[in-house]
């Protein structure tokens, strides 16, 4: 951004109309009526922000599961049309791009040139702005930390319309106060991101079958140094001796010379994946505990050997669910609730056993349960901490909310926390207890937005805002 | 390597159209009222495709500056092979129906501004005996409706002007394509009541580019507007003047 022009002047005729829309997150719960703006120019966005005297939140691709990008009976600004790439320096691998650019676009443009986003979550259809606001993490967290570690700077539009450039050197409080802050400090405009250099679009690694939780944890520890990417899928329908039986998937990006000769010629060529769409909502009974149990059992049995060397294309490894367009429709009209938590290292084993036993006993069947080891990282409101993280999703059914409150209590008492980007139902007192940096963050928030002009359904529900 | 001038580059359709030209190896000059936005779009195209994309500011209503603007754009690109006109605004139709100044503003933004630029560009293309023009109009220009006749008149005038220009420039080997656009999902129609049959800017731009490649003369985008407007234009005036669409 031009340092001299850190306020965009607007002509009155530019103010846009909103559209009344029912918005929800990826979990389709809750869905709330909002006034949605969709500017196509920076000056339009500035007019919307400056003229807002009630409440506004920015929205990217809408892939947070809950109500982070929803603002019931208030304003939401869809920034996806501010999606220009501004410059790329191949020497430093630094990309400057507007916040509406998605990781998918970065991959499309730069993979063929030998670059990849430094951190990717489970889907590539997320915006840069949203990724910073959620401080996304991926299968590489134990080695590469979260996305913020690779962000050199970003421009942030405050409630007043003023634009500030935030980095570790300039406005660093605001930098760390915006990372993981779910859009509550302002609207992220332009981002400076360091991409990772890769030699091919393939990853090589192992599939390790772990008969129980201890075996899975041991496998994470054993492979920690060798592999830059690791994740385990857990069969949470298993109990007792088989509690936590899982398949560990570990891999590194393949070096060009380790590919077979035929692939070495075009190391970045990967056929576009067939993307079947889910054209209708599955009826609720399709996800009964029995069906989930059967699904889990089938997948586990598919992997015969205890350790197999495999090669994956990047899409299959990083984004298996993206290949099913609108896959969240599988969860029926009542939607689902995603739950992701993390425990400190010393508490992880006990915490995992406790939760897995509770889920197994409840017969609630998480369709897709993912376990990952986290490393250390910075951040005021960021979610990851060194330890283990578990991600689950439960179909909305009677008693679910009370059950999740019980899980919250289990996690909290062990010093763990829940991920805001996945949350749709956590209570305010739980959130306050789980995020000890909240008072410090509220100071930063109050310094740039004293009237709480940036606010969301999430922020109000869990009591993020200063009084 | 075609050298293409895109006027109204901040329109989502124009931006995607520019990307298509760039992907096929064209050099671009993007003109818009908001120079900062045009520059960002140009950077975006360069980063994504590797094409040369330049930009500059122009105002459809600033007639005196048009000659110099086109000269500068052509000089920057090292020539001029094609012009895409994709600017225009619905404006404030209610005001335009009451206040003559507002009505004239709509005409300048959508019609007379285009006439000025097209006249200048036509001379250049005619001199070199090759090239093309793509003029984005609107189905609203096919019939005057009580709801939006000022805008409709501007586009209707633009269609007729373009049609005549097509005939004149055909003798010089220059192609002129008219695009009659239906409703597209952009800021023009966002939050506006009564918008139906809306199509995404991607679909619209891809249809325009496909039509350009197959050397069409007049296209409706999407195609189904041709039969719709065919019927609409046949309705007797006595009936039509009473309708509310």
Number of residues that this document lists for chain B = 245
Residue to substitute from B47, B93, B192, interface A, most A β-carbons within 10 A:
B47
DSSP 8-state assignment for residue A94: E
A87 and chain B in contact, CB less than 8 A: yes
Task: Determine the pLDDT at residue A296.
Answer: 57
Q: Is the pLDDT of residue A92 over 50?
A: yes
CA pair distance A232, A381, nearest whole angstrom: 25
Fold topology of A85-198: 3.30.465
pLDDT score of B52: 97
| pLDDT for residue A291 is more than 70 | no
Query: CB under 8 Å to A392, separation ≥6 — which residues?
Result: A236, A338, A339, A340, A359, A366, A368, A369
In chain B, what residues touch A41 (CB-CB under 8 Å)? 10, 34, 37
Question: Looking at beta carbons, which residues of chain B come within 8 Å of A84?
Answer: 40-41, 43-44
SS3 A388: strand
Task: Reduce the DSSP state of residue B60 to 3 states and report it.
Answer: coil
A 366-405 near B (Cβ less than 8 A): none
| pLDDT beyond 80 at A132 | yes
Q: Counting one residue from A and one from B, how many pairs have CB atoms under 8 Å apart?
A: 43
Q: Model confidence over A147-157: pLDDT tens digits?
A: 999 999 999 99
Please indicate if any CB of chain B lies within 8 Å of the CB of A89: no
How far apart, in whole angstroms, are the C-alpha atoms of residue A40 and residue B184?
14
pLDDT at A334: 66
Cα–Cα distances in angstroms (integers) from residue A20 to residues A78, B149, B232, in the given order: 13, 27, 30
Chain A hits for B192, CB-CB cut-off 8 Å, are: 17
Q: What is the mean pLDDT of chain B?
A: 95
Instruction: Round to whole Å and give the CA distance between A265 and A247.
Output: 32
In this model, does residue A277 exceed pLDDT 50?
A: no
Top pLDDT among A279 and B40 is at B40
Instruction: Return the structure tokens found at B171.
Output: 């003798």
Instruction: Please check the confidence at residue A13 and state whether its pLDDT lies above 50.
Output: no
Share of chain A above pLDDT 70, in %: 87
Q: How confident is the model at residue A280 (pLDDT cuts 50, 70, 90)?
A: very low
- Which of A16, A85, A109 is closest, CB to CB, to B187? A16
Q: Which range, of A33-37, A97-101, A356-360, averages the lowest pLDDT?
A: A356-360
pLDDT at A276: 46
pLDDT of the residue at B196:
81
Domain assignments of chain A as residue spans, ordered by start: 85-198, 202-426
A144 interfacial to chain B (CB closer than 8 Å): no
Domain B3-240 coded CATH 3.90.105.10: no
Which residue in the list B151, B209, B212, B220 is annotated as catalytic?
Answer: B151
Q: How far is CA A384 from CA A65, A146, A417, in A?
A: 17, 8, 9
Please indicate if any CB of chain B lies within 8 Å of the CB of A100.
no
pLDDT tens-digit map of A149-202? 999 999 999 999 999 999 999 999 999 999 999 999 999 999 999 999 999 999
Q: Where are the alpha helices (H) located in A270-378, listed in sequence order?
A: 289-302, 314-318, 345-362
| pLDDT for residue A311 is more than 60 | yes
CB contact under 8 A, B10 and A19: no
Tell me which residues of chain B have a pLDDT lower than 50.
none
Which chain B residue has the Cα nearest residue A95? Answer: B47
Rounded CA-CA distance A180/A174 in Å is 11
**Can you list the positions of beta strands (E) in A263-386?**
307-313, 336-344, 369-374
Structure tokens at A359: 């889920």
Q: Is residue B151 flagged as an active site residue?
A: yes
Place A351 in a pLDDT band, splitting at 50, 70 and 90: very high
**Residue B56: beta bridge partners?**
B31
**Domain locations in chain B?**
3-240
Which residues on B lie below 8 Å from A85 (Cβ)? 43-44, 47-48
**Lowest model confidence (mean pLDDT) among A206-220, A265-279, B145-159:** A265-279
Asked if residue A297 has pLDDT above 80, the reply is no
Angle between helices A345-362 and A400-413 (to 10 degrees): 160
- The pLDDT of residue A239: 81
Indicate which of B96, B101, B187, B192 best probes the interface with A, i.e. most A CBs within 10 Å of its own CB: B187
Q: What is the DSSP-derived secondary structure letter of residue A424? A: S
Instruction: Supply the pLDDT for residue B41.
Output: 98
Cα within 13 Å of Cα(A252), Cβ side: 14
Asked if residue A335 has pLDDT above 80, the reply is: no
What architecture does CATH give domain A202-426?
Answer: 2-Layer Sandwich (3.30)
Q: Is the pLDDT of residue A5 over 50?
A: no
Across the interface, do A86 and B43 touch by the CB < 8 Å criterion? yes
- Residues A429-444 pLDDT 10s: 999 999 999 999 999 9
């Amino acid at each position: 951004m031009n340092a001299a022009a850190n306020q965009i002047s607007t002509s009155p005729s530019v103010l846009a109309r909103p559209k009344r829309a029912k918005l929800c997150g990826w979990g389709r719960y809750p869905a709330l009526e909002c006034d949605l703006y969709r500017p196509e120019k920076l000056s339009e966005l500035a007019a919307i922000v400056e003229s807002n005297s009630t409440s506004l939140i920015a929205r990217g691709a809408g892939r947070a599961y809950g109500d982070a990008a929803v603002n019931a009976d208030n304003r939401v600004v869809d920034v996806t049309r501010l999606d220009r790439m501004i410059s790329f320096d191949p020497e430093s691998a630094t990309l400057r791009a507007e916040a509406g650019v998605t990781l998918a676009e970065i991959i499309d443009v730069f993979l063929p040139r030998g670059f990849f986003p430094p951190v990717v979550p489970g889907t590539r259809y997320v915006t840069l702005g949203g990724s910073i606001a959620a401080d996304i993490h991926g299968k590489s967290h134990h080695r590469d930390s979260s996305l913020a570690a690779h962000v050199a700077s970003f421009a942030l539009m405050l409630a007043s319309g003023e634009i500030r450039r935030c980095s570790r050197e300039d406005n660093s409080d605001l930098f760390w106060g915006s990372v993981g802050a779910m859009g509550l400090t302002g609207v992220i405009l332009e981002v400076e991101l360091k991409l990772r250099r890769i030699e091919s679009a393939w990853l090589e690694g192992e599939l390790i079958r772990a008969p129980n939780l201890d075996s899975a944890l041991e496998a994470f520890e054993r492979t920690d140094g060798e592999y830059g990417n690791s994740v385990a899928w857990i069969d949470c329908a298993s109990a007792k001796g088989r509690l936590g039986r899982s398949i560990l998937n570990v891999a590194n990006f393949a070096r060009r010379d380790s590919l077979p000769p035929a692939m070495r010629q075009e190391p970045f060529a990967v056929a576009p994946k067939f993307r079947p769409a889910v054209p209708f909502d599955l009826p609720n009974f399709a996800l009964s505990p029995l069906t989930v149990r059967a699904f889990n059992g089938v997948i586990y049995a598919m992997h015969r050997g205890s350790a197999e060397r495999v090669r994956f294309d990047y899409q299959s490894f990083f984004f298996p669910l993206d290949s099913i367009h609108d896959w969240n429709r599988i969860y029926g009209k009542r939607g689902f609730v995603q739950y992701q938590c993390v425990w400190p290292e010393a508490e992880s084993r006990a915490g995992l056993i406790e939760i897995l036993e509770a889920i197994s006993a409840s017969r609630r069947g998480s369709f897709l349960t993912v376990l990952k080891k986290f490393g250390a990282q910075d951040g005021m409101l960021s979610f990851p901490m060194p330890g283990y993280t578990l991600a689950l999703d439960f179909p909305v059914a009677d008693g679910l909310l009370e059950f999740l409150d019980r899980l919250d209590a289990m996690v909290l008492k062990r010093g763990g926390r829940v991920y805001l980007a996945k949350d749709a139902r956590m209570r305010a007192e739980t959130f306050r207890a789980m995020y000890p940096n909240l008072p410090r963050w509220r100071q930063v928030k109050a310094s740039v937005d004293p009237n709480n002009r940036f606010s969301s359904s999430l922020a109000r529900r869990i009591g993020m805002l200063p009084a | 390597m075609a050298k293409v001038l895109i006027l109204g580059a901040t329109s989502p359709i124009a931006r995607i159209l520019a990307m298509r030209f760039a992907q096929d190896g064209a050099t671009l000059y993007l003109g818009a009222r908001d120079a900062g936005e045009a520059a960002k779009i140009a950077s975006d195209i360069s980063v994504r495709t590797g094409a040369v994309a330049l930009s500059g500011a122009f105002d459809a209503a600033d007639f005196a500056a048009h000659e110099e603007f086109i000269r500068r754009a052509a000089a920057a690109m090292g020539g001029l092979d094609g012009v895409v006109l994709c600017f225009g605004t619905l404006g404030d139709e209610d005001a335009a129906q009451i206040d003559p100044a507002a009505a004239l503003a709509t005409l300048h933004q959508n019609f007379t501004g285009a006439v000025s630029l097209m006249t200048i560009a036509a001379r250049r293309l005619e001199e070199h005996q090759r090239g093309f023009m793509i003029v984005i109009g609107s189905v609203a220009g096919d019939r005057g409706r009580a709801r939006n006749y000022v805008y409709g008149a501007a586009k209707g005038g633009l269609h007729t002007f373009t049609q005549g220009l097509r005939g004149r420039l055909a003798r010089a080997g220059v192609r002129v394509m008219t695009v009659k656009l239906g409703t597209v999902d952009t800021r023009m129609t966002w939050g506006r009541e009564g918008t139906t049959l809306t199509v995404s800017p991607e679909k619209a731009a891809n249809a325009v580019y496909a039509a350009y490649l197959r050397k069409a003369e007049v296209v409706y985008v999407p195609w189904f507007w041709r039969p719709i407007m065919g019927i609409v234009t046949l309705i007797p005036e006595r009936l039509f003047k009473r309708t509310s669409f």
